[in-house]
Amino acid sequence: KGIYYNYILAANGLFIEASNPAIAARVPVAECEVRGLAPMKAKIALTYGSIPQRFFDLALDTFLAAPDREHYVAVTAAAGYDFYVPVQDEDGASVVYEMGDSVVLDIHSHAHMPAFLSPQTDDKDETGLKLYAVVGRLNATPVVKLRVGVYGYFHSLTWRDVFDGSLT
């Protein structure tokens, strides 16, 4: 056990587990076989339940207002969910923004590029305990990629893991 997170050894590998007032998460760190232990799965639990789809719809509307630029928005969680759009400096390939308090979901766009999470940029920036999303292909049918991060370890998520409603 640690101060901010715990490591758990299971039959299928090593996991990291942590929680804060908005989210509890467990993700794999390294796969391996350990005989004599029970297997474990990744998990997330959001304090206020699934994030309402309307927050994603607001994010997408914000991104589509200027689809040739990268943008950032967030969902915060303090006594429920709120939408947060900080002061930011955007261009076609990057966005720099002010970090908000109680952020449970970071969402950024990739303008016309595909939706992907970059090891060079995103993995280095996304070191907290929260959900992360990127939306790409704003000039066609937008695509979203989602993941949970636990202090630098990541696990891919589906739409239903994060949002209520339908991606369509």
Cβ–Cβ < 8 Å for 100, 76: yes
Q: Does pTM top 0.85 for this prediction?
A: yes
Cβ–Cβ < 8 Å for 10, 34: yes
DSSP alpha helix (H) spans, the chain: 53-64, 122-125, 159-162
Q: What is the pLDDT of residues 2-49, one digit of tens each?
A: 889 999 999 999 999 999 999 999 999 999 999 999 999 999 999 999
Cβ–Cβ < 8 Å for 69, 97: no
- The whole-number pLDDT of residue 94 equals 78
Residue 145, strand partner residues: 134
Cβ–Cβ < 8 Å for 148, 132: yes
For residue 168, pLDDT over 90 is answered with no
Given pLDDT bands bounded at 50, 70 and 90, which one contains residue 126? confident
For residue 123, pLDDT over 70 is answered with no
Q: What is the pLDDT of residues 82-118, one digit of tens each?
A: 999 998 887 777 788 888 889 999 999 988 888 887 7
For residue 153, pLDDT over 80 is answered with yes
- Residue 92 neighbours by CB under 8 Å, 6+ apart: 68, 69, 70, 111
Quote the CA–CA distance of 109 and 51 in Å, as a whole number.
Answer: 18
Residue 107, strand partner residues: 73, 133
CA angle, corner 142, sides to 138 and 147, nearest 5?
115
- The whole-number pLDDT of residue 51 equals 98
Residues 131-148: what's their mean pLDDT?
A: 94
Closest CA to 17 of 40, 34, 38, 37: 40
